[in-house]
Amino acid sequence: MINKIDHLGIAVASLEEAGRVYRDMGFAYCGNEAVTEQGVNVSFFEVGESHIELLEPLGEDSPIAKFLAKRGPGIHHICVEVDDIDEALTRYREAGVTLINKQPVLGAGGCRVAFVHPKSTFGVLLELKEKAR
Ligand code: ZN
């Protein structure tokens, strides 16, 4: 059901600045995208079969703006790829896991994603991403 770590999300104040640093460190850049539904601009860098996702807030009320104000830049979430996100959410609900998204929402690349509350995952915001069909 859970295939792999799809990406690690890192909150940054500036994609331009952070992107340059990651490129300088040898990470292969693979694209940029505004995900307005989530209030973020994102850049992806390839790491084997996984990615690093840099997240920059699109505005003041972006969840990333709040995260940066509270904690500064750093790891924001871990994303795992699942085969069937509806099945995963049903299973998690039945297990009493606290979900931020009870239904899948639109994430980067048009994928269906849902976030699990850190209080159910020992302090780590977990993103589920459905495998592209
Ligand atoms: Zn993500």
Task: Classify residue 91 as left (phi > 0), alpha (psi -120 to 50) or beta.
Answer: alpha
Distances (CA, A) of 6 to 50, 72, 129: 5, 23, 8
**pTM of the prediction?**
0.93
Å from CA of 55 to ligand 1 middle: 8
Å from CA of 9 to ligand 1 middle: 5
pLDDT digits (tens, 9 = 90+) for 74-120: 999 999 999 999 999 999 999 999 999 999 999 888 899 999 999 99
Å from CA of 70 to ligand 1 middle: 19
Count of domains for the chain: 1
pLDDT digits (tens, 9 = 90+) for 3-45: 999 999 999 999 999 999 999 999 999 999 999 888 999 999 9
Å from CA of 38 to ligand 1 middle: 10
% of residues, the chain, pLDDT over 70? 100
What protein residues have CB closer than 5 angstroms to ion ligand 1? Answer: 9, 53, 79, 127
Domain of 58 in residue numbering reads as 2-130
Å from CA of 15 to ligand 1 middle: 15
Rounded-to-integer distance, Cα 79 and Cα 61, Å: 22
Q: Which structure tokens are listed for 3?
A: 């295939």
The CATH number assigned to the domain holding 52 equals 3.10.180.10
Q: Average per-residue pLDDT in the chain?
A: 95
